[in-house]
Amino acid sequence: MDIHKEIDTRGLNCPLPILKAKKALSDMASGQLLKVVATDSGSLRDFQAFAKQTGNELVEQQTVDEEFIHILRRR
């Protein structure tokens, strides 16, 4: 998977990971991939809702130890 941008939102709680992802996506071209690394367990459902609301595709979600990794494709 060719990640175009990665943001680290470890230690931040809702809604900051979503806000940072929204800002990062606004600077990206359509089809590019954004990786978001978060430690907020609520980010799993937050990013699912965010993808539905914005039309960006939630390509993948993983939980690795205490971290939650979200891959979004810019619409």
Is 56 annotated in the active site?
no
Q: Which position has the token pair 């979503």?
A: 18
Which residue out of 4, 5, 12, 14 is catalytically annotated? 14
Cβ neighbour number for residue 55 with a 10 Å cutoff: 8
Q: Write out the DSSP string of 37-70.
A: EE--TTHHHHHHHHHHHH--EEEEEEEETTEEEE
Which of the residues are catalytic? 14
